[in-house]
């Protein structure tokens, strides 16, 4: 797996990867859900999040970690791409479908992404 920098190499790798991968994101939430998400790569990349595979929504899980926050830096494990594309609602950029929140990122983005299978 390539490092987080440069992000274009990482995105090319993700497009061909099948299986779970762990990536660092900054996720912004508002009362209605996910406002935005950024892959903490260099340069950073805006992502759309498809959290339909999670039994508890991503915003609810994040609020459980830090209830007073609206911006979270976290490691997410999931897959690259939409789970169930919906006709007429095409994504405007890359999509990540998390299955689990692995934890908060302390300080700067951590080590290179991890992949499974």
Residue spans per domain, the chain? 7-111
Strand partners, 38: 26, 46
What is the reported pLDDT for 110? Answer: 43
Range 7-111 has CATH code 2.40.50: yes
How far apart CA 26 and CA 32 sit, in angstroms, is 17
Query: What's the whole-model pTM score?
Result: 0.84
How far apart CA 46 and CA 38 sit, in angstroms, is 4
Write the pLDDT tens digit of every residue in 70-114: 999 999 999 998 766 666 666 678 999 999 999 999 754 444 455
């Amino acid at each position: 797996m390539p490092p987080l920098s440069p992000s274009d190499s990482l995105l090319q790798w993700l497009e061909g990867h099948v299986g779970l991968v762990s990536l660092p994101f900054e996720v912004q939430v508002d009362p209605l859900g996910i406002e935005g998400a950024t892959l903490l790569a260099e340069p950073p990349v805006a992502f759309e999040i498809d959290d339909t595979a999670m039994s508890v929504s991503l915003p609810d899980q994040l609020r459980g970690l830090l209830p007073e926050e609206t911006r979270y830096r976290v490691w997410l494990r999931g897959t690259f791409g939409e789970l169930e594309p919906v006709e007429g609602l095409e994504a405007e950029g890359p999509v990540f479908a998390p299955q689990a929140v692995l934890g908060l990122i302390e300080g700067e983005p951590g080590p290179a992404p991890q992949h499974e299978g």
